[in-house]
Amino acid sequence: MSFSFGEFELDQERRQLRRGSEPVPLEPKAYELLGLLMERRPRALSRAQIRNAIWAGTYVSESTLGGVVNQIRQALGDDARQPRFIRTVHGFGYAFCGEVRKSTGDESAADGSLPRDSGEVAEPEPREVEPSEERAVAERPRRSHGGGRRSSRLESSWSSAPVGSEFGA
C-alpha cells in the first residue's frame, strides 16, 4: 500500500519515502512513525501510544520521540509552527494533518503515478504478541539503580559521621 501526500509518496511495501521519483532518506523509526501517523489519521496519537507502537517494551525518552518527529519534519520540509503534515497536539502527542490518497501497489498506472482514490485509510491490523515475547519481557532481569547493599553501607557511614566538625561549623 502507498500513501501520497503533497509531493511525497510513502511506499509501505518498499519501505521508502519518495519526493517525486527521488528517495528521501529516513531512519527506520522515523519511517515507522510516519506510517503509523498516516494510518491513524486524522486521529491524534498520544506519546504513550506512539512509544508502545514503535518501541514496544523499551523505555524511550521524550527527547528521543521528539528527535524522530523532527527528523520526519526535516525530511518533509515541514514546520512545527505552521504544519502541513505533522501536527503537534500540545500536552498529548502528534497527528498527521495532511491530505492523503492511498492506493495498493497493483493499482499503479503504467507511468508509475498513483491513481486518485477515495483517500480512505485501512485500519491497521492488530499485532498478536507471541507467548515467547510475553515471557521474554516478563523474565527480563531488572537492574537496580541504587539501593541494595552498597547504598545501605553508605547510609550507615553517613549516619555515624560527625556533623560539621571538619568544616568549621
Q: CA dihedral in degrees (130, 10, 119, 113; nearest 10)?
A: -130
pLDDT tens, residue by residue, 55-105: 998 888 889 999 999 999 999 999 999 999 999 999 999 999 988 888 776
Q: What's the number of domains the chain is made of?
A: 1
Residue 113 covered by a domain: no
Please tell me the predicted confidence (pLDDT) of residue 12: 87
* Residue 143 covered by a domain: no
Asked if the structure places residue 96 within a domain, the reply is yes
Strand ranges of the sheet holding 86-89, from the earlier edge strand across to the other edge: 45-46, 93-96, 86-89
Contacts of 88 (CB under 8 A, 6+ apart): 69, 80, 94
- Dihedral over Cα of 116, 107, 4, 125: its sign: positive
125-145 tens-digit pLDDT? 444 444 444 444 444 444 444
Asked if 57 and 137 count as a contact pair (C-beta separation under 8 A), the reply is yes
Does residue 12 sit within a domain?
Answer: yes
- Scanning the structure block, which residue is given the C-alpha cell 503509523? 36
What CATH number is associated with residue 60? 1.10.10.10
* pTM exceeding the 0.85 threshold for the entire prediction: no
Residues spanned by the domain of 49? 2-104
Distance CA 149, CA 135 (A): 29
b/e for 147-163, b at 16 or more Cβ within 10 A? eeeeeeeeeeeeeeeee
Residue with cell 507471541: 130
Q: Say if 41 falls within a structural domain.
A: yes
The answer to the question of residue 88 being in a domain is yes
Sheet with strand 16-19: strands edge to edge: 22-24, 16-19, 8-11, 2-5, 101-103
Check residues 162 and 64 and name the one with the higher pLDDT: 64
User: Is 138 domain-assigned?
Assistant: no
| 128 part of a folded domain | no
